[in-house]
Structure 1
Amino acid sequence: MEMQLIDTAIPDVKLIEPTVYGDQRGFFYESFNARTFAALTGVSTPFVQDNHSRSMRGVLRGLHYQIRQPQGKLVRVVSGEIFDVAVDIRRGSPTFGKWVGDYLSEQNKRQIWVPAGFAHGFVVVSEFAEVLYKTTDYWAPEHERSILWNDATIGIEWPDAGELVLSAKDLAGKAFEEAEVFTGSVS
């Protein structure tokens, strides 16, 4: 296979590392293949939307999720570096309220699979970063929610990214204890 699966502390969240072919001309790798992705993760849900963001150092986006039309996300960085985080918000899950995080960068070319039922966020640790992600459902602003990035109950250990910059929406996120979470299936 052209990709390797790396387990995280939350079994449903996976890191995916591609095989990169490089020489004096540059490099090539397959960033997505539906058959390989399904074989590695067991997920065959189609992706319906691609998103692209560019953010400067210290920009923290998240922790976002949709209470209806939950989105699975396949996230990668094409320029710069981020610390990417997934928080399990599936009530009844053995990892409910737990988080995992890892660095994604243009150098390591890793991707992270964040299933539906997780809140997602990242902070830019390089001068800037361009982040691409595929989603399994469409953006539905009326169903979008945000959990505070620094919620003490979750206790995310964010790396030092300098002075943090958050949107008004993210600054107004709810505490984990007050947030709407998933109580049923998120398939």
Structure 2
Amino acid sequence: MQITVDKNPGGIEGLAVITPNIHRDERGYFVETWNSREMKEAGLDVDFVQDNQSMSQKGVLRGLHFQKNFPQCKLVRAVRGEVFDVAVDMREGSATYGKWYGVILSDQNMKQFLIPEGFAHGFLVLSDVAEFCYKVNDFWHPDDEGGIAWNDPAIGIKWPGVEGSYNGTPSAMGYTLDGDLPLILSDKDQKWEGINNR
């Protein structure tokens, strides 16, 4: 079995969901997550320069983030637990500007999500704990970070299990996951404006 690539999911050009090559035997498994030769054959030619990893608890929502002057292509996956991962097209002039696509990434399906430059990115942790890994093709520039509101009605992301009513701000106040767990967002992620106010 080779790595398989689902290109342009949701009709959004440039996105790709990658299912890895998994080798299983009596010892467990070995996963081939990225093969530059196969990726180039699939039209994905990316030179990654940095790997990152984060850990979050259930109900944490990170995003929606991007870099303004040094945009990054990201290859993301969950190595432990489960997340709902989202990309929003912010490319000026794109036919799908403002559209979003989301995919479940978990340690069970082992899928990866390739998000090219020009997208905002975020994820919601659905399991008790999740460890999230991502490769990027440019370095992190802390003074270059931008974001858009995770609950912007102009985008309309359907976060699984999230309940609550939009009150005109990206505040997590009043939102829950699975009916009883309050959402957890950083202070900065509760201050981003909507996509139409950028």
- TM-score w.r.t. the length of structure 1 is 0.92
Counterpart in the other structure of 2:33:
31
Mapped partners of 1:142, 1:175: distance in 2: 20
Counterpart in the other structure of 2:95:
94
Tell me which moved more, 126-135 or 4-13. Answer: 4-13
Mapped partners of 1:141, 1:147: distance in 2: 16
Shift of 1:143: 1.2
Mapped partners of 1:39, 1:163: distance in 2: 44
Identity %: 48
Mapped partners of 1:34, 1:91: distance in 2: 29
Mapped partners of 1:91, 1:14: distance in 2: 20
Mapped partners of 2:13, 2:133: distance in 1: 23
Shift of 1:83: 0.2
CA contact (8 A) 2:21 2:33 kept: no
Counterpart in the other structure of 2:182:
163
Q: Which runs of 5+ in 2 are unaligned?
A: 162-176
- TM-score w.r.t. the length of structure 2 is 0.87
Tell me which moved more, 31-40 or 54-63. Answer: 31-40
Mapped partners of 1:155, 1:149: distance in 2: 9
Counterpart in the other structure of 2:19:
17
Counterpart in the other structure of 1:56:
57
Shift of 1:51: 0.6
Amino acid at match of 2:41: A
Tell me which moved more, 123-132 or 15-24. Answer: 15-24
Give SS of 2:182's match: coil
Matched, 1:154 2:130: no
Matched, 1:75 2:76: yes
Give SS of 1:36's match: helix
Aligned residues: 178
Amino acid at match of 1:165: I
Larger Rg, first or second structure (1 or 2): 2
1:62-114 superposed Cα distances (whole Å, 9 cap, x missing partner):
00001111000000110000000000000100110000001000000000000
Mapped partners of 1:88, 1:38: distance in 2: 23
Amino acid at match of 1:51: N
Mapped partners of 1:87, 1:32: distance in 2: 23
Mapped partners of 2:74, 2:132: distance in 1: 12
Mapped partners of 1:2, 1:153: distance in 2: 39
Amino acid at match of 2:16: K
Give SS of 1:103's match: strand
Tell me which moved more, 25-34 or 88-97. Answer: 25-34
Shift of 1:175: 1.2
1:3-59 superposed Cα distances (whole Å, 9 cap, x missing partner):
00113111311100012111221111111122222222x232310111100000000
Higher relative contact order (CA 8 A, sep 6+): 1
Counterpart in the other structure of 2:173:
none
Give SS of 2:62's match: strand
